[in-house]
Amino acid sequence: MSAQSRREIWIAATVALVLLGVMPALNAWVPESSFFFISNFTINVWGKYLAYGILAISVDLLWGYTGLLSLGQALFFSLGGYMLGMHLMLMIGKLGQYKSDLPDFLVFLGHTYLPAFWRPFYSLTFAAVMVFLLPMTISAVFGLLAFRSRIKGVYFSILTQALTYGASLMFFRNDMLMGGNNGFTDFKFMLGSDLRSAATQRVLYIFTGIVLLGVYFGCRWLTRTKFGLVQRAIRDSETRVLFSGYSAVQYKLFVFVISAAIAAVGGALYVAQVGIINPSEMTPDKSLEAVVWVAVGGRGTLVGPIVGAVLVNALKSWATHAIPDLWLILLGSLFLVVVLFLPKGIISIPSVLLDFYKRRIKRPEPAEPTPVTTSSAL
Amino acid sequence: MKMVNQSAKALLALTGMVFTHTAIAADTVKVGVLHSLSGTMAISETSLRDVLLYTFDEINAKGGVMGKKIEPVVVDGASNWPLFAEKAKELLEKDKCSVVFGCWTSVSRKSVLPVFEKNNGLLFYPVQYEGEEESKNVFYTAEAVNQQATPAVDYMLDKKKEKFYLIGSDYVYPQTTNLVLLEYLLSKGVPLENIGGGFKKDGSGKIISAGKYTPFGHTDYQQIVAEIKQFTAGGKACVINTLNGDTNVPFFKEYAAAGLTAETCPVVSFSISEDEFRALPAKQLVGQLGCWTYFQTVKSDANKAFISGFQKWLKDTKVDGVKKEGRVTCSPMVLSYDGVYLWKQAVEKAGSFDVDKVRTALQSGLSFDGPGGKVTTQKNMHLTKNVFIGETKADGQFKILKEYKDVFGEPWLKGTFKAK
Amino acid sequence: MRRLLVFLGFLCTVALPGLRAETPAEVVAKAVALEDKTDEQIALIKSLAPSPELLSLLTLWKEGGIFLVDLPDKSKLPVLLEEAKDADGKQAALLLQSGKPYADADGKPLRLLASDLSAAETDSELRSAMKSILDLAGLAAPDAKSRLRAIEIVGMEQDLAKLPALKERTSSELDAEVKHALLEAIALTELKSAEPETVVAACRALGELGSIRSQDALRLLTKESGPQVKAAVEALQKIERHLVNVNFWGTLFRGLSLGSVLLVAALGLAVTFGLMGVINMAHGEMIAVGAYTTYVVQCVFGPGLELSPFGLHIALPSLKATGWLYDCYFVVAIPLAFITAALAGILLERTVIRFLYRRPLESLLATWGVSLVVQQLFRLTFGANNVQVASPSWLSGNWTIHDVGIGWNRLFVIGFAAVIVVGIFQLLARTPLGLLMRAVMQNRAMAACMGVRTERVNLLTFGLGSGLAGLAGAFLSQIGNVGPSLGQSYIVDAFMTVVVGGVGSIFGTIFSALGIGMLDQTLQQVLGNPVLGKILVLAGIILFLQWRPAGLFVTRSRSLEN
């Protein structure tokens, strides 16, 4: 293991320790009056950020590493959330507004019995399997069709956008029996423990952190194998990869399905902590927002997306409170600046500054080649 | 890999950020305002923020609540429902607000409901809604279905209308309202084939959805208007409209272009108040009907004082993002205003800001003479109030045609009307 | 105001002094002064025999042309205002009951300010009473359109007492459409007849006429007994067949018009995306720029506009135009919308897009950022509310041909789209600029080598695309919302249209826009559900692109990676 690699692991471990050890500990054992106390609110919000981090990695795996800008990640994220949400809805039992076994929204619409496709979701195992299965199936079918007919570049983005848009329209319909515009909310229990209690929230938070860590190391491993190399080759020039005798379709399909699964896990964890899922999470705009996190953090790295997700969302939490009118302008401009001037995101700031310093102060180096980006050159 | 180092530091710095608590000054009471100031719902909700800030200023100028000045904490739900829940948590857990005024859409209310129940907070909800809900942590100043939809249908039946076409946006409020109306119309002897828009039945043949539904942001109403035109061709028909705010514009423009008018086939709308009206082509809408518990044209001293006070406040205010020109008052605004005063009364009666005590006071039947007439709180956390049927005029105001006095707010209506 | 003059003329001839019955003007004045007592008002106006004078009075009242002056004794005095305004905006007033000038005790004529007075109001009950009077008189109206409406309404009342009046008209009526309506109204009224033979004949007539509005009445008949049941059933079947026809042609027209809307919205994108390869997610906001321009122009023509963005205060002057001049605002707004949006586009190109020509994916992201910023800027400038854009009178109306409604605004968009398409083709094929554009789009480097100033051509092309978006905005303001998120509702559809048509082919965009419009409307008609249709269209598009990834019309190129 190289020294650099070792250092990276050290840093990851420190951050993980702070986020997964220190913060929950301060939340659980420090008295509320203390300066070091971390509120349940903070834990909960950070849990959301970390779930977003998982989504960001899935975007980056596709975009930063394979050159596929998918605007469908919000769809897979929400589908994961919906699958777990169905189980959680059934777990509310008779504690809803109507004191009925059926989820509230079904009673609302005058249903008297549970539709057949809802029934298996009484089992958490089934729901957990579906969290993976449904998004992976959809991505596999869609990916196979798209990649086989060699749809790439912006066409892929626009098609995934259409897919997401169509799906959100579908989920908005009350006839879909998935809660319509309101979606699912008011969850009470998971595995018998109260979802609203601080202890459960803490456990979920730690669990999300561990999953994020796992996804991070999994992707780190994947991108450093030969597979990862081909992946990046596809990003830089798909034609050359094809000429070298690789079947780009299979590689792309594999990555697409894997990132759908990653996004779905993120979605499931998000729903368990935030307690709401509805179709507005599924719109193409949400996908684009996730792309913003990755772009801001730094694409083509695995740390970047996580940093971006946390940073942009923290900024959002702050800005929607402090300067609500200017929030969208801030987000939009941030994005513009990053795309135009910092193509590698904020985590490249130190190295950019260092380069600048080296060039200016020490001796002029030959100009850096323009950063390699996506393949299509329309 | 210095980047990693940097980002780790950034993370830590952010963690530090949320440590800071703000001290609560002793002579103020924090009150949350939770509305969308950006995103699709900003259209309607910003007005409620404005009227709330006005009400707080008015109360503070008269000495505040129990000697304490109201300190508003305004947050933006950004038309994003999970964000609503997050902001609600923030208001209750971090800012420790004594009461929160907010939400517009059903989904935002449903999203924050668990947060309020868990933290035992108190939310005042001001916008007409579908009912079928009664939480001890929400006070519904809003119109229940029997304070809006059923009086409007009564009025149409009075006017000898025999056919009813139901159209709405596809979400909970229209779906539920239309199901209640379906039961109501059947109980009044209107045959099923005279109710237009289509029905959906479940496996057992029970109707689970009545009326035509379009998604938010729908732009093309050609087909639907053509259908309405055929349905209502025989006369004696009306349209019951629960379309959400801005989809009304393409709908009414198409309606007028097809040659349908208020005289041949009136439309009763439940989601168009004076405020939404500002964006509608008023001349094409003259004579269409609305039903609310307040209109700006209500003739009373309380209303006169409210309107002039609010306009003066608009002129003087320094709050960012408040639009000063061409402002009107409407029912959700007045119900927000009433809500603040009812809360003030309840606090003063209870002698405490404690939510449980305030609730008990609220449930004891407080009355307030608001701009729309007297409102009285009920045990079920709803309001008894006056209901008005109005007809739109070319200047964007409503001419009041009929008034129903002191209508009791009843959230549970489904299944209460029996077909003849 | 012409009506006012006609009416005044009447007063001069009719209102002779001396002992006589009350003139219609006096009765109406009495009724107006009663204000909210609707029932008494109705009784009063119904007591009058229909006369041209009464008609002009009632029309004036209905349209808010009668004003009320508050008298010291709390009663109200109905007056009319003359058209001419003096420097203070005051107008001379005439007493409604006599037509004499409104004067003070000394006989000095008073001038009044319209905004100080309240217009005499009417409510729907009163108006429908007025209408039934107006309608009966309207049967003989000189212009065919009002005659038609009057006949339709009288027919729907099914009042046997009005049958003679209707029948009387049949012999003298020449207009085919009105005659059709007249026959329908007579048959409809005869359904109420006590003689079964008349009813059966009426049923048959209604069936022949394919009368949609008689369906309800016929259905009621089927519940009775006697020979009329069979006749009614047969008539209903005939009408049903007629309806199938109506729906077919209606759907065709609606598909064409929706297709044209899509086309107008997508044409700008066909230029920026199709020809230049720039993914402009802010295209929707360019549409909104056009729509807001229309709004501003309308306000300048009308009441003026005050805006207060970022603490600044901007007051735009008002032309206070009315009537046909006001209706002209749209004609002025169209070119202005093009220019404003084109300028906005040029600004966008200079500041953002020119750095991203080689990075299409990045241009997608950057322009999305721009679209967020611009949307919020709209909110801060014009408010978060949608703004109101009223259609000029020449765009609000419709023709009905064999029960198929054809809206003027819809017809306008079809023509509008056609004109733009022809214009673009002319520009690209016939002008030197078009030649340069095509050259740069085909091979930027080669064109540059040949001495073409590619930067400038890029700028102009992008400006053209954005300007076209502005035109779309100007039009869309006539059929939908004008608000900060206007563009968002069209952007996905616009991209789909261009991609399906084949990027780079304007022909393709035309075909795909019309195709998608038709498909959407047909599915809506068949499924009876607006959303399902849209979802199916989206699914269809996704599948279609698997089959033809490059769209309908493939632009061939030798380059490997396009």
Domain ranges within chain B, ordered by starting residue = 22-143+299-384, 146-297+388-407
Q: For B95-112, how does the pLDDT look when each residue is reduced to its tens digit (9 = 90+)? A: 999 999 999 988 899 889
Q: Which residue of B lies nearest to A313 if distances are taken between CA atoms?
A: B83
Mean pLDDT score, C271-278:
82
CB contact under 8 A, B391 and C123: yes
Split at pLDDT 50, 70, 90, the class of B120 is very high
CA distances from A178 to A181, B171, C131 (A): 9, 12, 49
CB contact under 8 A, C127 and B287: yes
pTM: 0.81
Above pLDDT 70, what percent of chain B?
Answer: 93
Same domain, C210 and C317: no
Above pLDDT 70, what percent of chain C?
Answer: 92
Q: Which residue of A lies nearest to B8 if distances are taken between CA atoms?
A: A15
CA nearest neighbour of B111 among B140, B82, B74, B76 = B82
Distance CA C489, CA C471 (A): 16
Least confident stretch, B174-188, C75-89, C490-504:
C75-89
Least confident stretch, A319-333, B337-351, C251-265, C444-458:
A319-333
Same domain, C20 and C91: yes
Contacts of C381 in chain A (CB under 8 A): none
Split at pLDDT 50, 70, 90, the class of C76 is confident
Q: Tell me, letter by letter, the H, E, C secondary structure of C243-269.
A: HHHHHHHHHHHHHHHHHHHHHHHHHHH
Q: For C361-376, how does the pLDDT look when each residue is reduced to its tens digit (9 = 90+)? A: 788 888 999 998 999 8
Give the pLDDT of residue C46.
Answer: 75
CA dihedral B296, B298, B303, B306 (to 10 degrees): 0
Closest-CA distance of chain C to residue B320, Å: 8
Domain hosting C36: range is 2-125
Output C327 or C464, whichever has higher pLDDT: C464
Output C65 or A103, whichever has higher pLDDT: A103
Q: Does B297 touch chain C (CB under 8 A)?
A: no
Closest-CA distance of chain C to residue A283, Å: 11
Give the pLDDT of residue C259.
Answer: 92
Output B413 or B345, whichever has higher pLDDT: B345
The pLDDT of residue B317 is above 80: yes
Contact of B54 with B335, CB cutoff 8 Å: no
Same domain, C30 and C91: yes
Contacts of C492 in chain A (CB under 8 A): 161-162, 165, 284
- AA identity, residue C551: G
Same fold, B22-143+299-384 and B146-297+388-407: yes
> Could you report the predicted ipTM of this complex, rounded to two decimals?
0.84
The pLDDT of residue C380 is above 60: yes
Split at pLDDT 50, 70, 90, the class of B10 is very low
Give the containing element (helix H, strand E) for B100: strand B99-102
Same domain, C411 and C481: yes
Asked if residue C242 is part of any domain, the answer here is no
Contacts of C121 in chain B (CB under 8 A): 393, 399
Q: For A258-298, how does the pLDDT look when each residue is reduced to its tens digit (9 = 90+)? A: 999 999 999 999 999 988 898 888 988 889 899 989 999 98
Helix or strand or coil: residue A92? coil
Q: Fold for domain B146-297+388-407? A: Rossmann fold (3.40.50)
Domain at B22-143+299-384: CATH architecture: 3-Layer(aba) Sandwich (3.40)
Mean pLDDT score, A47-70:
93
Mean pLDDT score, C273-299:
90
Q: CB neighbours of B138 closer than 8 A, spacing ≥ 6?
A: B109, B113, B116, B122, B123, B124, B125, B381
Structural domain count, chain C? 3
Contacts of C545 in chain A (CB under 8 A): 149, 151, 155, 159
CA distances from A249 to A68, A259, B121 (A): 12, 15, 54
Q: Does B63 touch chain C (CB under 8 A)?
A: no
Distance CA C215, CA C235 (A): 9
Q: Does A256 touch chain B (CB under 8 A)?
A: no
Same domain, C65 and C200: no
Give the pLDDT of residue A51.
Answer: 95
Domain ranges within chain A, ordered by starting residue = 39-283
Give the pLDDT of residue B14.
Answer: 43
Same domain, C315 and C348: yes
Distance CA A215, CA B163 (A): 60
Q: How many Cβ pairs within 8 Å bridge chains B and C?
A: 155
Give the pLDDT of residue C127.
Answer: 77
| A192 C-beta neighbours (distance < 10 Å), count | 6
CB crowding B139-155: b at 16 or more within 10 Å, else e = bbbbbbbbbbbbbbbbb
Q: CB neighbours of C242 closer than 8 A, spacing ≥ 6?
A: C210, C212, C403
Same domain, C288 and C209: no
Split at pLDDT 50, 70, 90, the class of A190 is confident
Split at pLDDT 50, 70, 90, the class of C294 is very high
Q: For A172-181, how does the pLDDT look when each residue is reduced to its tens digit (9 = 90+)? A: 888 888 888 8
Split at pLDDT 50, 70, 90, the class of C290 is very high
Q: With left for phi above 0 and alpha for psi between -120 and 50, is residue A270 left, alpha or beta?
A: alpha
Split at pLDDT 50, 70, 90, the class of B419 is low
CA–chain centroid gap for B226, Å, is 30
CB contact under 8 A, B226 and C254: yes
CATH of the domain at C503: 1.10.3470
Distance CA C111, CA C108 (A): 10
CA distances from B80 to A245, B322, C182, C460, C545 (A): 47, 21, 56, 39, 33
Same domain, C115 and C149: no
Q: Does A43 touch chain B (CB under 8 A)?
A: no
Split at pLDDT 50, 70, 90, the class of C50 is low
Give the containing element (helix H, strand E) for C420: helix C408-430
CA dihedral A76, A80, A81, A87 (to 10 degrees): 150
CB contact under 8 A, B7 and A314: no
Distance CA C139, CA C55 (A): 13
| B115 C-beta neighbours (distance < 10 Å), count | 24
Distance CA A90, CA C218 (A): 50
Exposed, middle or buried, B164 (CB in 10 Å: 0-12/13-18/19+)? buried
Chain A interface mutation, best of C365, C374, C443, C497, highest count of A Cβ atoms under 10 Å: C365
Distance CA B367, CA B385 (A): 10
Q: List beta partners, residue A145.
A: none
Contacts of A292 in chain C (CB under 8 A): 365, 369
Give the pLDDT of residue C356.
Answer: 86
Distance CA C230, CA C249 (A): 29
Distance CA B40, CA B256 (A): 25
Closest-CA distance of chain A to residue C376, Å: 6
CA distances from C174 to A259, C150, C156, C169, C552 (A): 73, 16, 22, 10, 50
Same domain, C10 and C150: no
Closest-CA distance of chain B to residue C387, Å: 5
Same domain, C361 and C463: yes
Mean pLDDT score, A339-361:
82
Distance CA C78, CA B95 (A): 59
CB crowding B63-85: b at 16 or more within 10 Å, else e = ebbeebebbbbbbbbbbbbbbbb
Dump the DSSP string for B262-286. Answer: TTTS-EEESS--HHHHTTS-HHHHT
Helix or strand or coil: residue B249? helix
